[in-house]
Amino acid sequence: MNTNTTIARDFLSVDEAAAIFGVSSKTVRRMISRGELRAKKFGTLIRISRTDLDRAGRPVTSLATVGGE
């Protein structure tokens, strides 16, 4: 298997992460800036690992959690 293919499957672009979260790419960039989402730079490209993207989501345990209470 090609190493570049493995990297492409393991890491997502900011736009791909935004589509998964259902938010704008600007929101994903803010999440990275605030430290809520880890990202790596490959040259000039910003990439987010699928594992880190999964960790960024918080589990919802009740409707109070959804409302931020």
- 19 within domain boundaries: yes
CATH (domain of 39): 1.10.1660
Report how many domains make up the chain. Answer: 1
In a domain, 21, yes or no: yes
Domain membership of residue 65 (yes or no) is no
Task: Write out the two tokens for 59.
Answer: 């589990």
The pTM assigned to this predicted structure is: 0.71
Instruction: Answer yes or no: is pLDDT of 68 > 80.
Output: no
Q: Around Cβ 40, how many Cβ atoms within 10 Å?
A: 11
Q: At what angle do helices 25-33 and 14-21 cross, to 10 degrees?
A: 100
Model confidence pLDDT, tens digit, residues 4-20: 555 567 899 999 999 99
Band of pLDDT at residue 56, cut at 50, 70 and 90: confident
- Structural domain contains residue 63: no
Domain, as residue range, for 14:
3-56
> Given this model, what pLDDT does residue 48 score?
95
Q: Establish if 64 belongs to a structural domain.
A: no
Q: How far is CA 44 from CA 13, 16, 41, 59, in A?
A: 12, 16, 6, 32
**Contact call for residues 36 and 58 (beta carbons, < 8 A):** no
Lowest-pLDDT range of 16-20, 39-43, 52-56: 52-56
